[in-house]
Structure 1
Amino acid sequence: MNNVVAYIRVSTSRQGDSGLGLEAQREYIERAAIQNGWSVIAEFVDVVSGKQALEDRPAGKKALAMCKEHDAMLLVAKLDRLSRSVLHIAQLMEKVDFKVATMPQADKFQLHLFAALAQQEREFIAQRTKDALAALQRRADAGESEAVAKVSRRTQALEKGRAVADITAANNVRMEKVTSFQAAVKPHIEACLYNKLTTLQAVADCLNAKGIRTPRGSEFNPTAVRRLMQALDLSFNKAA
């Protein structure tokens, strides 16, 4: 039985490109493993753009290392989960053996051909879209009312998309700060609990005495301690 390392990628903007989310990819991989007698020894998930090479992605790098360590193949649901670049696919073939769940019998030559055809089609679509938008803009510039309306709707959609992207990016930054703060404070709370403190106020006093402050720079109070302990899954009973 061949060992395989499952690799799943979803985009940064939504659950998955082309409707292929985490669970769908996992189902493809599990089905292919069963049908071909492969043993999945690990799974790695990236939330990154497909433009990055696999070795430049956090989980992708770990997946490659796992394949090398255990002499295993890399298994993905679809070829574009690895990359949309023919160059990246070709370079990856030199580093690891990989299989695609939707075409498990495809060899390296066939996979390279599929990648080249897919890239060519994307380039054709991009050029056709560019030409169509240019023609639409020319009609709008000429005063054609229907074209003006279409350009206006497209502009509004783009602006809305940018706004959503900005909000998402801001939320991601905020969550990273929260996670970093919690990780930094956790050892201090555990130390306070280790000293057999049994009330939220006592823990707050302990943190304040250490000079630890909330993300807003305020001293801790019982409510802030309770929320933080819940977020970190800490309790007085567990400490005991």
Structure 2
Amino acid sequence: MANVVAYIRVSTSRQGDSGLGLEAQREYIERAAIQNGWNVIAEFVDVVSGKQALEDRPAGKKALAMCKEHDAMLLVAKLDRLSRSVLHIAQLMEQVDFKVATMPQANTFQLHLFAALAQQEREFIAQRTKDALAALQRRAEAGDAVSVKKINRRTQALEKGRAVADITAANNVRMENVAAFQAAVRPHLESCLYNKLSTLQAVADCLNAKGIRTKRGSIWNPTAVRRLILALDLPLPKAD
């Protein structure tokens, strides 16, 4: 049975990028693994733009390392989850063997061809869109009322999209900061739990005695301790 490392990517702007969210990608990957007798030994998830090369993404770099360490193949739901660039796909082929769940029997040549066709289609669409917008702008400047309204609607939509992207980026930074804080506190929390403290208040007292503070700089209380334990998927004190 061949070992595979599952890799999932969603965009920073919206999880439904290309209509393919996290759970949908997992379903494709799991189904392909079962049908082809592959053993999924790990899963890595990135929330990044597809413009970055796989080795430049946090989870992508780890996925590649695990593939090399365990002589495993990389498995993705769709080819564009790896990259939207033919160059990146070609470079990746020299680093690791990979499979695509939606076309598991495709060989290296076919995958390279699919990537090239997809990139060409995106370039055609981008050029057609650019030409259409230029024509619309010319009509609006000539005084066409309908074209002016379309330009205004597009401008409003772009501004709204930028606002949503800014909020998403801020949320991503916040989640990264929370994860970093939890990782830093984890060994101290595990030390308290290792002492078999029987209540959440006892754990809170233990953290406070160590001089550890919550992310907001407050002292620990049972509610904050409980949230942290659940977030880190650690066992709650039995007395609670």
With the shorter chain as reference, the TM-score category is 0.7 to 0.9
Partner residue of 2:133?
133
Query: TM-score if structure 2 supplies the norm length?
Result: 0.82
Q: Which of 212-221 and 100-109 deviates more?
A: 212-221
Identity %: 87
Residue of structure 1 in register with 2:44 after alignment: 44
1:230 Cα deviation from its structure 2 partner: 6.2
Q: Is 2:110 aligned against 1:110?
A: yes
The 5-angstrom pairing of residues 143-154 of structure 1 reads 143-154=143-154
Does structure 1 residue 23 correspond to structure 2 residue 23? yes
The answer to whether the aligner puts 1:167 opposite 2:163 as a matched pair is: no
Question: Given the superposition, is the C-alpha separation of residues 128 and 38 from structure 1 closer, same or farther in structure 2, using an over 3 Å criterion?
Answer: same
- For 1:151 and 1:204, the matched residues in 2 are separated by 57
Question: Cα distance, 1:179 vs. partner?
Answer: 3.3
Aligned to 1:34: 34
- Superposition RMSD on alpha carbons, in Å? 2.9
CA–CA separation in structure 2 for the residues paired with 1:226 and 1:100: 40
- The aligned residue for residue 7 of structure 1 is 7
Q: Helix, strand or coil: the match of 1:62?
A: helix
Range moving further from structure 2, 217-226 or 88-97:
217-226
Shift of residue 125, structure 1, vs aligned partner: 0.5
Query: 1:146 is aligned with what amino acid?
Result: V
- Structure 1 residues 8 and 173: CA distance shift in structure 2, 3 A: closer
User: Structure 1's 115 and 183: CA in aligned 2 closer, same or farther, altered over 3 A?
Assistant: closer
- AA at the equivalent of 1:161: G
| Unmatched segments (≥5 aa) in structure 2 | none
- Alpha-carbon separation, structure 1, partners of 2:46 and 2:125: 27
Code of the aligned partner of 2:91? Q
Deviation for aligned residue 1:137: 1.4
Relative distance call for 1:97 and 1:140 in structure 2 (3 A) is same
Distance in 1, matches of 2:88 and 2:226, equals 48
Q: How far apart, in 2, do the equivalents of 1:115 and 1:193 lie? A: 51
In the TM superposition, what is the alpha-carbon distance from 1:177 to its structure 2 partner?
2.9
The aligned amino acid for 1:76 is V
Match of 1:60 in 2: 60
Contact 2:200 2:226 in 1 (8 A): yes
- Is 1:91 the equivalent of 2:91? yes
What letter corresponds to residue 127 of structure 1 in structure 2? Q
Give the Cα–Cα distance (whole angstroms) in 1 for the partners of residues 190 and 224 of structure 2: 15
- Measured in 2, the distance between the counterparts of 1:88 and 1:28 equals 23
Rg bigger for which structure?
1
Unmatched 5+ stretches in structure 1:
none
Give me the whole-angstrom Cα distance separating, in 1, the residues matched to 2:141 and 2:191.
Answer: 69
* Aligned 8 A contact 2:44 2:59 in 1: yes
Distance in 2, matches of 1:224 and 1:39, equals: 39
| CA positional deviation for 1:71 | 2.1
TM-score of the superposed pair, with normalisation by structure 1: 0.82
Contact 2:12 2:168 in 1 (8 A): no
